[in-house]
């Protein structure tokens, strides 16, 4: 364990986070290896802007009775039952 000028103990940088940050810092310091434009060439392109509109198509018939609030990643199972009268008349 090393000590700083103030005499407090410093943690040796041997963890995965330190290794990741060191590697990332080295990679960001390198020259970008991909050349967008080839030498002695003419470059041509289009800029296209897309817009999108969402329109509801169909609604469920009926009134909203209640809602069930859920926590993140919470799952609740529910079922709906429909009763119908069926019979034969002769």
| CB-CB contact of 1 with 11 (8 Å) | yes
The residues with which 3 forms a beta bridge, in sequence order, are 9
pTM of this prediction?
0.25
Three-state SS string across the chain, please?
CEECCCCCEECCCCCHHHHHHHHHHHHHHCCCCCCCCCCCCCCCCCCCCCCCCCCCCCCCCCCCCCCCCCCCCCCCCCCCCCCCCCCCCC
For 24-73, the pLDDT digits (tens) are 898 888 877 666 777 787 777 888 888 998 887 776 667 777 888 889 98
């Amino acid at each position: 364990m090393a000590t700083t000028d103030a005499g407090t103990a410093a943690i040796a940088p041997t963890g995965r986070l330190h290794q990741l940050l060191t590697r990332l810092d080295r990679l960001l310091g390198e020259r970008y290896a991909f050349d967008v434009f080839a030498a002695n060439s003419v470059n041509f392109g289009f800029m296209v802007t897309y817009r999108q509109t969402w329109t509801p198509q169909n609604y469920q018939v009926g009134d909203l009775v209640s809602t069930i609030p859920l926590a993140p990643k919470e799952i609740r199972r529910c079922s709906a039952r429909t009763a119908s009268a069926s019979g034969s008349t002769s």
